[in-house]
Copies of this chain bind each other. A is one copy, B any other.
Amino acid sequence: MTRLKMGMIGGGLGSFIGDVHRKAAGLDGMISLVCGAFSSTEEKSIASAKAIGIPKSRAYGSYQQMIKAEAKLPEDERMDFVAIVTPNHMHFPPAKMALEHGFHVICDKPLSLNMEEAIELEKIVQSTGKVFALTHNYTGYPMVKQAKAMIAKGDLGTIRKINVQYLQGWLSSAVEKTDHKQAAWRVDPKRSGIGGALGDIGTHAENLVEYISGIHINELAADLTAFGEGRTLDDDGNILLRFENGAKGTMTFSQIATGEENGLAIKIYGTKGSVDWHQENPNELVVKWLNQPKQTYTPGGNGGYPEASEYVRIPAGHPEGYLEGFATIYRSFAKELNHVKQGNSPSSLPDFPTVQDGVRGMNFIYKAVESSSNNASWVTLKS
């Protein structure tokens, strides 16, 4: 097996998400980080490279520089793909350039700064024929896969009700006014786009709902609020949902839910049964039935479907966490790349979030903001 070669854009020293991407990419031994434009200056980029064992020669001062230089390297040396781990406003430009220079792309969410970029990016992916993955990492948990498989097989019957929450408390106080890098860009429309918590975590919730249930949101009515003094972007939102199959639901998300850490949780109710999953305790899937006692499924445990078990790395009872779920996205991305490198066409339904999912996410942001601007009136998601 030859490892795939990854170039990283962003993720310099002190970046939370860059480190996550590196660990996730490396976990299954299918990918090696070989180069990076880690920071906005060459000096900083080299410092970051040094700290993580990348030679100075492969540390670049800008993504443009990196893409051009790497493209000129021999095929067995140059990077195979780029991982984009910058704030939202810096997703589209490097993604576009990388794709157009023949590199595959894996990119943090949301897809882009705005809708126009999202639509253009979808076109570029299609025209270049390159592989593009979006790291909606929560879809990588085995118990999320189990829930998805149970619904797809009809175990729960017809889905009628969905409640999803994504609750955090880290913006409860005005941390963006302190020296808090993460907070600073998230409350800044220039770097985040039109969604605050909506874009940062609401899109994860939207993606998870559609991924597990297999049904699309049809309409929404959103009530977004910026509670933090001086904030222009939402830090909290409550949304009514209507799904294409007639199911109804709610979404609530917040970054001012004091004391919550990373409370992404989902409940989906069908006519025969229901599933209940919480990201902070990701190795349990509670399934409640119409006529049987409720069950708890675990990764690799009794009764799990192969659709879930294949994502389990260690025996039942040995908890896997956030990094492992994230790594599953990278592993599926790597498998697809190997598939394509062997001369195959990209899969039509690859096992990771795609640029189309990213466009759906951007559309969700736009429609939620539109609804909220109109006093939470209903907005249809289909364009």
Q: How large, as a class, is the contact surface on chain A? A: 35 or more
Pairwise interchain contact B313-A50, C-beta atoms closer than 8 A? no
Copies per complex?
4
Main secondary structure of the interface of A (DSSP, over half): loop
CB contacts (< 8 Å) of A170 on chain B: these are 315
CB closest residue in chain B, given A29: B52
CB contacts (< 8 Å) of A139 on chain B: these are none
Instruction: Using A53-B29, A225-B248, A269-B258 as known contacts, say yes or no to A319 and B316 having CB atoms under 8 A apart.
Output: no
Q: Interface-forming stretch among A92-100, A102-110, A115-123, A290-298?
A: A290-298
CB contacts (< 8 Å) of A165 on chain B: these are 163
CB contacts (< 8 Å) of A250 on chain B: these are 238, 250, 252
The answer, yes or no, to whether A303 is at the interface (CB within 8 Å) is yes
Select the residue from A173, A313, A321 with max chain B CB neighbours within 10 A: A321
Residue interface mask A7-22, B partner, CB < 8 A = 1: 0000000001001101
For window 238-293 of A, CB contacts with B under 8 Å fall at 238, 240-242, 248-250, 252, 254, 256-263, 267, 269-274, 279-283, 287-293
Residues of A within 8 A of B (CB): 1-3, 16, 19-20, 22-23, 26-29, 50-53, 156-157, 160-161, 163, 165, 167-170, 172-173, 221, 223, 225, 227, 236, 238, 240-242, 248-250, 252, 254, 256-263, 267, 269-274, 279-283, 287-298, 301-304, 313-324, 375-378
